[in-house]
Structure 1
Amino acid sequence: MDEDTAIRRRDQGAATQAALLRAVLDAALAEPDRPVLRAALGAAMAGVELGGPGAPRAGVASRIDADPGAGAPRVPESAHALAAWLATPPPLTPGAASLGLAAVNALLPVPPGATPGKGQDLLLALGRGARVVVVGHFPFVERLGGAFAALAVLELAPRPGDLPAARAAEVLPGADVVAITGTTLHNGTLGGLLALCRPGARVVLLGPSAPLAPALLGLGIDALAGAVARDPRAVLDGVARSLPMRRLEGMDAVVLARENFFGLSS
């Protein structure tokens, strides 16, 4: 990649990242404000429980800060104020961006058109026989790899068989299907990754951090594979006990896709 192309992609990525954050926050802040009943930071996850009209609501997001052992800081009483932590420049406090995204996910309603479904099943349906790149080492990648024509896994902390995240510019432009962890939204890298995807590639944002915000489907993302809290108390209890996402009780996997996207509609 020549220097001009690299600069152009960097600028495009920064603009896309800003648009992604703005779209997510706009969607969350358009919902009525709610009181924050509880916030929890575990070793792997952040969780927020909200009160207000109707039943309590909860949202989660992956931890991205350098001190996963730190407890939850003092948080605002307003869900809107806590959600704004998602876009507050660091450093604010350990876990701030993760708690902000968890508040966003608690505020966002389940959109019309969202259907029950797991990200791994969607990835298998889209990627069979195709060149697939997964950003983030999900537990299911080893089981699915044989169904794809080629599979590359990009990871900040590579495991055996993974590629370092720094090699994204080498592999993303050649992918037919790209699955990106929702953690990239609040660690600031999602916009840059989307700028590397070729036109026509099918892009899925997946994992517990992925917000179910329909506006994201117009910003380079074709489908969202996230999770909603069915039992807020159980979810927050699990987060506080430092359980990983796959062991949290009270969460349901859902998929939201852009209209006419391979048989799925939003």
Structure 2
Amino acid sequence: MKQQELVASLIPEHAPEPATRIAVGVNWTLVDSATGTGLVHTPVKSQQGCVPIAEAGSLRGRPLRDLMDLTTAPNPIARAVGFAALNAYWNRHDITGDIVNGLELVEDRGHKTVIIGRFPNLDEKLPGAAVIERNPGPDDFPEDAAATLIPQAEFLVITASTLSNGSLAGLLALRRDAFTVLVGPGTPLCSTLFDYGIGALAGFRVDAPEKAEQAIMESGAEKAIRPSGTRISLVRG
């Protein structure tokens, strides 16, 4: 499975709703519409290829489906806008599900619980888990450990930023029977992802878009965004 095929399967044929607001903050990117609001991690500006978006100043008002074409843009910042538009389509204001933290859906099985990305308070919730980080800390594993750790995993938690940074398909290809959870506000609440072996989608529904936009434009991290919405989890039947 290729990453571009996975992403293409999530993009609807029609999504005519116009983007009513677009915000690219230091930590998060937001695209809002009348039917839903999407969030995605903003890439670090020093990342290769990050440049100003050429179409800036003309994106608001475009249909969500048009903005989704940016998911294949070479510019990581433009891609973030594209994925936020994708999430605005799926993470509708009226979507419902289990109101739980995604980390509550997995068990601590030592290094057979593998976490991609160091989440807040992880040491309290899953202290024995093996954590793989792009920029590993003292207790983390580097990215190349995924090839060894993931095939042996019984539980696998993957940060949603792997969808927008292009690494999700490769990580899923390494799993065997692990119960897999895609976690984070950038998770598209789209059941198509269950077809790729994901067992649960632990995302976020924005209930107060203006409040979320303010937090984002004031360089807020995930904690600052939480009061603007509700954790929503969908579990594969």
Match of 1:6 in 2: none
1:134 aligns with 2:115: yes
1:50 to 8, 16, 33: 33
Q: 1:112 to 1:60 in 2, by over 3 A?
A: closer
How far 1:188 sits from its partner (Å)?
Answer: 0.7
Contact 2:41/2:161 (<8 A) preserved: yes
Per-residue CA distance 1:63-94 (angstroms, 9 max, x = gap): 125348987733532221112211x2413xx5
Distance 2:172 2:26 in 1: 28
Distance 2:150 2:84 in 1: 28
What root-mean-square deviation, in Å, do the aligned CA atoms of Structure 1 and Structure 2 show?
Answer: 2.3
Distance 1:242 1:109 in 2: 22
Q: Which runs of 5+ in 1 are unaligned?
A: 1-14, 260-266
Runs of 4+ in 1 over 3 A off after TM superposition: 65-75, 109-113
Instruction: Count residues in correspondence.
Output: 228
Distance 1:178 1:40 in 2: 31
1:74 aligns with 2:57: yes
Please state whether the residue corresponding to 1:133 is helix, strand or coil: strand
Contact 1:203/1:223 (<8 A) preserved: yes
Match of 1:84 in 2: 69
How far 1:114 sits from its partner (Å)?
Answer: 2.2
- Determine which structure has more spread, i.e. the larger CA radius of gyration: 1
Q: Which residue identity does 1:214 align to in structure 2?
A: S
Match of 2:20 in 1: 37
Contact 1:40/1:71 (<8 A) preserved: no
Please state whether the residue corresponding to 2:157 is helix, strand or coil: strand
Please state whether the residue corresponding to 2:21 is helix, strand or coil: strand
TM-score w.r.t. structure 1 length? 0.78
How far 1:57 sits from its partner (Å)?
Answer: 3.2
Distance 2:109 2:120 in 1: 20
1:239 aligns with 2:216: yes
Trace 1:157-176 onto structure 2 (pairs within 5 A).
157-176=135-154
Contact 1:41/1:71 (<8 A) preserved: no
Match of 1:263 in 2: none
Match of 1:210 in 2: 187
Q: 1:25 to 1:232 in 2, by over 3 A?
A: same
Match of 1:99 in 2: 81
How far 1:16 sits from its partner (Å)?
Answer: 4.0
Q: 1:113 to 1:244 in 2, by over 3 A?
A: closer
Distance 2:153 2:103 in 1: 17
TM-score w.r.t. structure 2 length? 0.87
Distance 1:97 1:65 in 2: 13
Q: Which residue identity does 1:161 align to in structure 2?
A: D
Match of 1:143 in 2: 124
Match of 1:64 in 2: 43
Contact 2:182/2:201 (<8 A) preserved: yes
Percent identity of paired positions between Structure 1 and Structure 2: 29
